[in-house]
Chains A and B, each alone.
Chain A
Amino acid sequence: MSPDLLTALIVGAGLFGIGLYGALSQTNLVMIMMGVELILAGALVNLVAFWRFLHPESYAGQMFVLIVMTVMAVEMAVGFGVAIARFRARGSVEMEEARELKG
């Protein structure tokens, strides 16, 4: 077992943990999005590490990285769209105040 791989995977796990904490604990919509970004970054590290150290001959791993980056971009775009709409409507993006979806 390569220490490179282990290092990369542990970095990914750490990023995932930090992102999860941020997504759960922040009250601001943009901060929550940052948390999500970190989680996805953790996934990215893992994917690159798997490609490099386990299957460098298959480029499907790299392609997967591209897809995750796409997802990050999409998330950012839609997230900011929602944030702008919310800000227009309420003048704030604090999620404590967003209770319209209460059942």
Chain B
Amino acid sequence: MAVITLQTFFIALFGIAALWFGVVVFRTSSMMRSALALLFSQTALGAMFLAMQAEFLGVLQIMMMATEMSIMAIFMVMFMMDPGGLGEMDMTHQKRLSIAAGVIGALAVSGVALFAHWGPTATVAPAAAEQIRGLGTELLGRSMIIFETAGVTILTAMIAATAVAMPVLQRKKTS
């Protein structure tokens, strides 16, 4: 029996917001606005996590994406020299294929979501403190190797990104 609760309402609301801003990302002709739209979309997503009672993840999402997207906005300005989106320019290609792929992909995933047999759903979520404790126990217990691997991966990516981005030094040719 489907029960439309306040939780459902908020989930749908923030979900629609996330979708709306997602569409806006590719609809504006300004890089800056695209980046801001993505920021809003991700933030709406974070709010959706909060609505789904995943407090830690929601807050984390909002914080991470806020920083990430602001960096992205700075880069966009830096690369494109287009602060206001004043120019009308088309920056897309193979549009038809892309639209088809996006629509078909979304429909296929929705189909799976609709027609899959998900089994019984839980109604009550653990308390926030309990969640944090459980997640910490999980991270430093069973999944420790994965967690550590993720950390090392981030470190490696940082070093690699720095190395790639550094200007090529004019070294003296020895020998």
Task: Give the shortest distance, in Å, between A45 (CB) and chain B (any CB).
Answer: 6
Q: How many A-B residue pairs have CB under 8 A?
A: 253
CB contact between B92 and one of A4, A6, A26, A78 (< 8 Å): that residue:
A26
- Docked-complex contact B22 and A62, CB < 8 angstroms: no
| Bound complex: CA A4 to CA B93 (Å) | 36
* Chain A residues, CB < 8 A from B114: 6
Segment 50-69 of A: residues with Cβ below 8 Å from B: 51-57, 59-60, 62-63, 65-67, 69
A10 within 8 A of partner (CB)? yes
CB contact between B121 and one of A1, A25, A76 (< 8 Å): that residue:
A1
Task: Give the shortest distance, in Å, between B163 (CB) and chain A (any CB).
Answer: 8
- Docked-complex contact A15 and B18, CB < 8 angstroms: yes
Given contact pairs A7-B11, A26-B91, A69-B64, A63 touches B79 in the complex (Cβ within 8 A):
no
- Docked-complex contact A44 and B15, CB < 8 angstroms: no
Q: How many residues of B contact A (CB 8 A)?
A: 87
Enumerate chain B interface residues (CB-CB to A < 8 A).
2-5, 7-8, 11-12, 15-16, 18-19, 22-23, 25-26, 31, 34-35, 38, 41-42, 45, 48-49, 52-54, 56-57, 60-61, 64, 68, 71-72, 75-76, 79-80, 91-95, 97-99, 101-103, 105-107, 109-110, 113-114, 118-119, 121-122, 124-126, 131, 134-135, 137-139, 142-143, 146-147, 150, 153-154, 157-158, 160-165, 167
Enumerate chain A interface residues (CB-CB to B < 8 A).
1-22, 24-28, 30-31, 33-35, 37-38, 41-42, 44-45, 48-49, 51-57, 59-60, 62-63, 65-67, 69-70, 72-74, 76-78, 80-85, 87-88, 92-93, 96
